[in-house]
Chains A and B, each alone.
Chain A
């Protein structure tokens, strides 16, 4: 396994020009710039107007936050496929509590606690019993989807329009949505943690080679448990924000979000099958590139189904590029 992009990269000799042209974050940054360029040529200058960036930004809030947290699980080598259903479950529970007259703070606290509880079940199965992460979290995905649907009830949706929450979710600062800026800030913090702190190095080490990490005295159990709990927490927060933004929870909330987010994260340099690679910054840029393409097709009045064709092709290109750069090759 050639692991050049793994934890060792932090100590590799510093070659700025080469890194700039070949690093995984650099290539997704370049891809994003190309997307922006095409957008400007095709849609016109309004592609980058504050209003258009705000539209993309408020749509990106939940994927960015969910992706930033779930990225830790990917980095630790334990992919969590249950995030989409977790978002759905969280929004359903939060909306239900609001309709029962709870105040948003205690409803939010209970919702997050419940999400952490299911994250803990994931951790017990995967870390405690050694279950395969894909299979185990697929089970959790199914179970949580069922629970969300039961909570939402026969009407198929729960209306919990809360004027205060709606205002907070749509608060603008400097012409951009406040939540979008917070999500970006969160991404930067996550990026700092991953590349600058001991915790980050431990997570990468566990994901890159868990046996070597254990020999080096890192607690694999603790790192992976924490990563899975973080992933559940991020999805929980995402679900609550959805209720604020949409004023409701529905059966469709969060449905299929896991693959949308992971496709974008992989375009941004993460891998769902191999820990130790990827960076929150790259993941966020990947999400932005996909959102940009989708927005461009909307403004150009092109069928939205082309978005998924482009996402699929980009995903293939991204993993191919990663492989050519010395990433994992599959035989």
Chain B
């Protein structure tokens, strides 16, 4: 799994197409299709446009946040635990600007900049304090959420604003907020192993000593990775504010587990250096299908956590087993 096709480019050789390394996408796709088929056989009306809409709406926000989380992981930053704070802060900015009557493009820019500023703060503490990102973002999330509670209780995109409309429209039969998620994953997934900055991030995540020896600035790479990751959370915040209606400072908390699960299930190593963003389309899709399928089976939504938890556990166990076999 360490050699999936998109990653082959990092070894400075052209992408090789071979069956080896396709384990993760094939397993994921098979599991996803199996879930869809099983539910479809049990309840044929599962295979409908309504189901597709329900799943794709759920995918959008998680997918964009997962891009940010994946960038942090691939570049060796382990995890960004402060995504919920960054999401709500940027959403609040988006809502306030929508209330002031600003056009949607400006709102998007402002929310993304807010997210980037948040990521930049994280990076500054990490880089200048030489502190581990997991602990730093755990702390900034504590601080951020508490501060948000002191600032506001409830916010929502004004009815009739462009922001509100964005969360309720569809293009080509799929949600307007779903398309940017797909485009961003495809684009970033394509660029990461093929651009200088992307390759630097992967190199730093894979082996920082080797990367440093090659003259790559660890500090600059960290700043870039966390700032970019924050930007994606800022963009996810636009989709969140557009589609979620009234939200409070805690409304983003339960997205965190889904996002991290999607990244891990996509085979993106938390240890850094390997993984393809394209795989997020499969993992986010699979994870977003589970709750919908459970409803068709008539199971309570509490069961959803049990399934997702054990799927995650099995996936990381398999991943660990493979990694151990490859590196004796």
Contacts and interface: CB of A to CB of B under 8 A. Distances in A.
A213 interface: no
Contacts of A328: 132
Given A316-B136, A320-B129, A125 B306 contact: no
Given A131-B320, A146-B305, A273-B132, A309 B142 contact: yes
Contacts of B270: 132, 134-135
Interface string A319-331: 1100100001111
Contacts of A307: 146
B142 A311 contact: yes
Contacts of B302: 146, 149-150
Contacts of A191: none
Given A129-B318, A134-B270, A309-B143, A329 B130 contact: yes
A316 B147 CA distance: 16
Nearest to B321: A129
A316 B124 CA distance: 13
Contacts of B132: 271, 273, 319, 328, 330
A149 to B, nearest CB: 4
Interface residues of B, number: 54
B218 A331 contact: yes
Contacts of B300: 150
Interface in B78-107: 78-79
B247 to A, nearest CB: 17
Given A144-B309, A330-B130, A130 B320 contact: yes
Contacts of B208: 331
A142 B308 CA distance: 7
Contact of A147 (B264, B306, B308, B317): B306
Contact of B143 (A134, A140, A308): A308
A138 interface: yes
Interface of B: 78-79, 125-126, 129-136, 138-143, 145-147, 149-150, 208, 218, 257, 260-261, 264, 270-271, 300, 302-321, 323-324
B138 A259 contact: yes
Contacts of B78: 134, 273
Contacts of B142: 259, 263, 308-309, 311-312, 315
A79 B294 CA distance: 31
Given A130-B321, A263-B138, A315-B135, A139 B310 contact: yes
B318 to A, nearest CB: 7
A313 interface: yes
Contact of A312 (B126, B140, B271, B318): B140
B321 to A, nearest CB: 5
A140 B309 contact: yes
19 contacts: A121-B313, A124-B317, A132-B320, A135-B312, A142-B312, A143-B305, A143-B308, A146-B306, A146-B308, A150-B300, A271-B132, A305-B147, A309-B146, A311-B139, A315-B135, A315-B138, A316-B136, A319-B129, A330-B126
A240 interface: no
Shortest beta-carbon contacts, A-B, top 5: A143-B309, A146-B305, A139-B312, A142-B309, A139-B313
Nearest to B264: A135
A155 interface: no
Interface in A227-265: 259, 262-263
Nearest to B142: A312
A256 B151 CA distance: 22
Contacts of A329: 130
Contact of A125 (B140, B261, B303, B313): B313
Interface string A192-234: 0000000000000000000000000000000000000000000
A139 B218 contact: no
A145 B142 CA distance: 21
A256 to B, nearest CB: 9
A312 B146 contact: yes
B43 to A, nearest CB: 22
Contacts of B324: 129-130
A136 interface: yes
A135 B261 CA distance: 8
Contacts of B261: 138-139, 142
Given A132-B320, A136-B313, A315 B139 contact: yes
A71 to B, nearest CB: 16
